[in-house]
Amino acid sequence: MDLALPVHGATHGSRVSPVSHPALFLTLGLAAVGVVASVATKFHLASLPNIVMLVIGAVVLDVLTQLAPKTRVIETIQTILYGFLYLAVTIVCGVLAAYAMQRLAFPLQDQLIASADKMLGFEWLDYAHWVDRHPAVQTVFRLAYNSILPQTVLPLVVLAVASRISELRAYLLAFVIAFAFTIVISALMPAAGPIAFVDRAAFHLLQFTGATPLDHLVRLREAGSLVMDDAPGGIATFPSFHATIAVLTPLTLRGFPRIFAVLLILDAAMLGGTVTEGAHYFCDILAGGGMAFFAHAVAKRVIGAKDRFVAHRSSIREDAAPQAGTTSFGGNLSAAAPSMKAT
């Protein structure tokens, strides 16, 4: 199985990376898309988060853990370090790609998405005003909505502690699949979100802090070179990545009943808050949830196929290896011995 596969040709007993090759390639692809789109559209995101110190810190901690005794605790810490570093790098690459691809300025699809909401019988404005009139609901929704980063890291920590490395690889791959597809789809089907068409002053509690930054979207869609030094935000409206995490996290951790039960409640509130705190259409939520199931299914299939391939290759090597203390020459000599004695 992949769990026992040494990394980079290391010997048996060496640590195993929680990041699969497909996940690594997708992250490199996001970086390449971001760079190419930035150069092609003369765009520079000056406020891109600097993760140099994060990388240095992770490397230093890794060196320190290498000097410590090889215990399960140390291996778990190393796995979490690698996974966290991978998530951080992937998110930074994704932010650059998301902003740069919005420079392509495809037609806004708000009318189409709003029409789909109405066909489903959902009235965004009525729902938002109802939440605005219920402070307790709004508070719960806001707290749940802001839990996206802890929920992104939670499967990494839980699966690393439980030593379920194959499941962790599938999660990280599912995350980057969903992230990459969300960025591409949101660039091809950009939208401003429902908050662009209502009066914010009509709400008393809701601040819509997670809404697509309209000033960013407008500037990104303008022709000519652009240097943006504002802090980046969630530029994608359709599909909602908050909704993706709200489904992907409990889906990944459904094998841990107590954690799963808490997540169901938390993420139900997160989905509700994504509509208001994030100012998303209802169809954004449906698309984000569907993205989670799609990415999870693909990642499980890819990692499962890789595990089976590695197991099959290992079994072939074991069958081909000669047994200890015997050679083909020795076998022939033993077979010839009786005839020599008879002579």
User: For 210-235, what is each residue's pLDDT tens digit?
Assistant: 999 999 999 999 999 999 998 898 89
User: For 13-33, what is each residue's pLDDT tens digit?
Assistant: 455 678 899 999 999 999 999
User: For 144-155, what is each residue's pLDDT tens digit?
Assistant: 999 999 999 999
pLDDT value for 8 = 36
User: What does the alpha-carbon distance between residue 139 and residue 79 come to, in Å, rounded to a whole number?
Assistant: 35
Neighbours of 8 (CB within 10 A): 6
pLDDT value for 341 = 43
> Computed over its alpha carbons, how large is the radius of gyration of the chain?
26
Structure tokens at 332: 């022939």
Residue among 283, 273, 290, 285 nearest 127 (CA) = 273
pLDDT value for 321 = 63
**Low-confidence residues in the chain, pLDDT < 70:** 1-16, 62, 65, 312, 318-343
User: What does the alpha-carbon distance between residue 48 and residue 93 come to, in Å, rounded to a whole number?
Assistant: 9
Residue-range domain boundaries for the chain = 2-221+230-316
pLDDT value for 323 = 54
The H or E element spanning position 260 is helix 257-276
3-state secondary structure 112-136: HHHHHHHHCCCCHHHHHHHHHCCHH
Q: What residue ranges in 14-96 does DSSP mark as E strands?
A: 43-45
Neighbours of 202 (CB within 10 A): 11
User: What does the alpha-carbon distance between residue 190 and residue 235 come to, in Å, rounded to a whole number?
Assistant: 9
User: What does the alpha-carbon distance between residue 99 and residue 93 come to, in Å, rounded to a whole number?
Assistant: 10
